[in-house]
Copies of this chain bind each other. A is one copy, B any other.
Amino acid sequence: MKNIVFFSFLVLVAFQQLFAYNLKSPNGNLILKFTLAGNGIPTYALSLGDKQVIENSRLGFELVNDDKSFLDDFEVGDIQTSSFDVTWQPVWGEEKDIRNQYNEMAVTLVQKEKNRRMLIRFRLFNDGLGFRYEFPMQKDLRHFIVKEECTQFAMTGDHTAYWIPGDYCTQEYGYTKSKMSEIRGLMNKAVDHQNIASKVIGEAAVQTALMLKTDDGLYINLHEAALLDYPCMHLELDSENRTFQSHLTPDAVGFKGTLQAPGVSPWRTIIVGTEAKDILASRITLNLNEPCKIQDTSWIRPTKFVGVWWEMIAGGGSWDYTSDYPTIKIGETDYTKAKPHGNHRANSQNVKRYIDFAAKNGFDAVLVEGWNIGWEDWVSNRKEFNFDYVTPYPDFDVKELNEYAHSKNVKLIMHHETGSAYRNYERHMDEAFQFMKQYGYDAVKTGYVGPIVPLGEYHYSQPMVNHFQYVVEKAAKYRIMVDGHEAVRPTGICRTYPNLIGNESARGNEFMSRVPLGHTTILPFTRLIGGPMDFTPGIFELDLSKINPNRHEKMKATITNQLALYVTMYSPLQMVADYPENYERFPDAFQFIKDVAVDWDKSVYLEAEPYEYLTIARKEKGSGNWFVGGTTGAQPHIAAFQFDFLDPGKKYMATVYADAADTDYENNQQAYTIRKMVVTNKSKFKQSVSIGSGFAISLFEITDNKKK
């Protein structure tokens, strides 16, 4: 920990009979202006140099059964400023050292008549702003209910927005790029339901992280950090005023937060830069979360894994075991008497095939879905007791398979699909985690498909946000890593609980046939702002009809695109998602997946434009090897950069996986070229990339021993 220096840089400006307070970022480029406007209304504004980023925007809350709310009639009770500069080391991440440098201003607002205080804490970084509401312990504010949070983000113009529809239950959408003013008109088109649990907000509500680009070249990103026991925030566009306003997810009775003083809201974040890649390089989301609360993190490790999964998603294999029963009762249905339908993929023989494949190619683990009884009858039936998480199907030998895997230095990854019956999951969780430890599992993929059971909650309501966090903290006690699917979108909580090693919370590779081109060039600006995604890259057989003749869909991708994702879609948990036999058909391309790292000392964002292209270089943690990935959207792109990120004076063997002349994401997805060359930090690189494709480079230092 570096020293923390406190000093004051407060500027007071007379404004509308009230006061304005300015705060500068450490480098002086960003200026936050807090104003108490007429009627005691708190507002803020943000500028970068001479450009306004956020115009005067209101702050506050509407409360339930409260004649005053936290909207106006405030006086400034106190202002505290401070400065902070600490560099910390994440357990895993895009870089080994993260600098957390900001100037802070904490404004205490007082409603005299009600004798109530609310504090707004601003943290101004060089690359953006975070602020949150705090409610100190006080006599006349104990417990209260939020009708709506009234935080505004007033834009300076009709910016370009990269957005998905606001939805209380799912983020699994393709993104729309449009002017803000077009959002309302495009909303219906943007709602292309693929998810059985969906509750669209409608009108002009969109999800965070929301990526924006101004006509004068600013990139702005709106999201939240440290979402804990509070409803997830959406943004509702007031088109007339070009203003986004917070829209929280309601609970079962329509409340938007049952809060207690003392307490805090999540941070609201505004990342801003003059280049798109500034957004990718920002660490604001992580920095606004609390430091790691897990003492011994030695058991948390980045993981590359294969799995019994794509066979069901793409190939028509089955999670379930039998067709004998119309419905299942856990503990009553006798599976030993059931006739297997023969399509169950999580059988011991098939799992062993994946274990062998993982061991042979140096992968860490094998995910197995559909191993536990109940899948015949699990979702969308409002069924509560759908799984017990400890009873395997008759053809899955949990003991033997774990022992077999461990003998080959491979772990099995547990799968807990809850069918969104979260109460049932909580009831069985201790037993389920104990079962995992008994057999040597140390990671679980969780799932929340379907409507929440008991009915009433949405996936992103406060009680569910509370649940998802409950799972992460409970798992940490058992030294179990969590990869949460269909859970609330991440907001940097992996800093505090690095056992939260992955999340889905966006449309992943499984639906790459159903997204606009460029999906993977927008996700790093949106979904990944909150934390890593289990995107499940690495599909080589991109024509799904080749796997399942009934499925006439092609993924909008190429093999080199799929390789690049291991670098561009940062995650400490990377799946090698395709069938083993599909990799065996392309052993030279597969080599990149075997080589690529999953944890990093450093990341360099070489070039980026949302929805168009994205090139990132990353240095493997501890080894000195570098990997570069680049992907494209709806336009071809010529990637051009210098290898100046490499260590000076060293020589590297670069292997470039790139388009062939005739690569085509629609008609020739599996065409690629591989070339090798020796490069130094003086070398330049240029690569033409076709639509919906990508390229990947591995860079191994050439030593006297010639490691590779």
Inter-chain contact B423/A329, CB cutoff 8 Å: no
B384 adjacent to A455 (CB under 8 Å): no
Contact B261 A142 (CB under 8 A): no
Q: CB within 8 A of A251: which of B140, B430, B454, B466?
A: B454
| CB-CB contacts below 8 Å: A456-513 with B | 456-457, 463, 466, 470
- Residues of B with C-beta under 8 A to A327: 137, 142-143, 260-262
From known contacts A260-B383, A381-B260, infer whether A326 and B454 are also in contact, taking CB-CB under 8 Å: no
Decide if A253 touches B329 in the complex (CB within 8 Å).
no
In whole angstroms, what is the CA distance A139 to B323 when docked?
Answer: 11
A427 contacts the other chain (Cβ, under 8 Å)? Answer: yes
Instruction: List the B side residues contacting A13 at CB < 8 Å.
Output: none
A252 at the interface (CB under 8 A from B): yes
In the bound assembly, the distance between CA atoms of A327 and B251 in angstroms comes to: 23
Interface string of A238-278 (1 = CB under 8 A from B): 00000000000001110100101110000000000000000
A382 proximity list for chain B (CB < 8 A):
143, 145, 255, 258
**Cβ–Cβ < 8 Å partners of A62 in chain B:** none
Asked if A194 CB lies within 8 Å of chain B CBs, one says no
Chain B CB within 8 A of A325 CB = yes
| Chain A, interface SS category | loop
Within 8 A of B (CB), among A381-423: 381-384, 423
Q: Is the CB of B251 within 8 A of A137?
A: no
Asked if B145 and A329 make an inter-chain contact with CB atoms under 8 angstroms apart, the answer reads: no
Cβ of A642 within 8 Å of any chain B Cβ, yes or no, is: no
* CB–CB A381/B455 < 8 A: no
A138 at the interface (CB under 8 A from B): yes
Whether A260 contacts B329 in the complex (CB less than 8 A), given A143-B383, A252-B455, comes out as yes
Contact in complex: B142, A326 (CB < 8 Å): yes
What are the residues of chain B within 8 A of A325 when measuring CB–CB?
137
Q: How far is the CB of A261 from chain B (nearest CB, A)?
A: 6
Looking at the assembled complex, report how far the CB atom of A657 sits from the nearest CB atom of chain B, in whole angstroms: 48
The number of chain A residues with a CB under 8 A from chain B is: 37
> Which chain A residues (421-469) contact chain B, with CB distance < 8 Å?
423, 426-427, 430, 453-457, 463, 466
When chains A and B are docked, how far (Å) is the Cα of A382 from the Cα of B262? 15
| A455 and B142 contacting across the interface, CB-CB below 8 Å | no
Residue-by-residue, is A138-160 near B (CB-CB < 8 Å gives 1, otherwise 0)?
Answer: 11111101000000000000000
Q: Does A377 interact with chain B (Cβ within 8 Å)?
A: yes
Of all chain B residues, which has the CB nearest A377? B142
Bound CA–CA A527/B325 (angstroms): 40
The complex places the Cα of A140 from the Cα of B326 at a distance, in Å, of: 8
- What residue in chain B is nearest A455 (Cβ atoms)? B253
Greatest chain B CB density within 10 A among A141, A325, A326, A329 is at: A326
> A607 → chain B, closest Cβ, in Å?
46
Contact between A326 and B137, CB atoms less than 8 A apart: yes
Contact A261 B326, beta carbon cutoff 8 Å: yes
Query: CA of A427 to CA of B422 in the docked complex: distance in angstroms?
Result: 12
Of all chain B residues, the one with the shortest Cβ separation from A141 is B326
Do residues B455 and A251 form an inter-chain contact, with CB atoms below 8 A?
A: yes
CA distance A423 to B140 in the complex (A): 28
Check if A326 sits within 8 Å of B139, measured CB to CB. Answer: yes
Q: A142-B381, A426-B426, A427-B426 are in contact. Are A329 and B262 (CB under 8 A)?
A: yes
30 A-B pairs in the complex with CB atoms less than 8 angstroms apart: A137-B325, A139-B326, A140-B326, A142-B326, A142-B327, A142-B381, A145-B382, A251-B455, A252-B252, A252-B253, A252-B454, A252-B455, A252-B456, A253-B455, A253-B456, A255-B382, A255-B455, A258-B382, A258-B383, A258-B453, A258-B455, A260-B329, A260-B381, A262-B329, A384-B463, A384-B466, A423-B423, A426-B427, A430-B430, A456-B456
Chain A residues with CB under 8 Å of chain B are 137-143, 145, 251-253, 255, 258, 260-262, 325-327, 329, 377, 381-384, 423, 426-427, 430, 453-457, 463, 466, 470
Given contacts A253-B455, A258-B381, A456-B457, 19 further A-B contacts (CB under 8 A): A137-B325, A137-B326, A140-B326, A141-B326, A142-B326, A143-B327, A143-B381, A252-B253, A252-B457, A260-B327, A260-B329, A260-B381, A260-B383, A261-B327, A423-B426, A423-B463, A426-B426, A454-B457, A456-B456
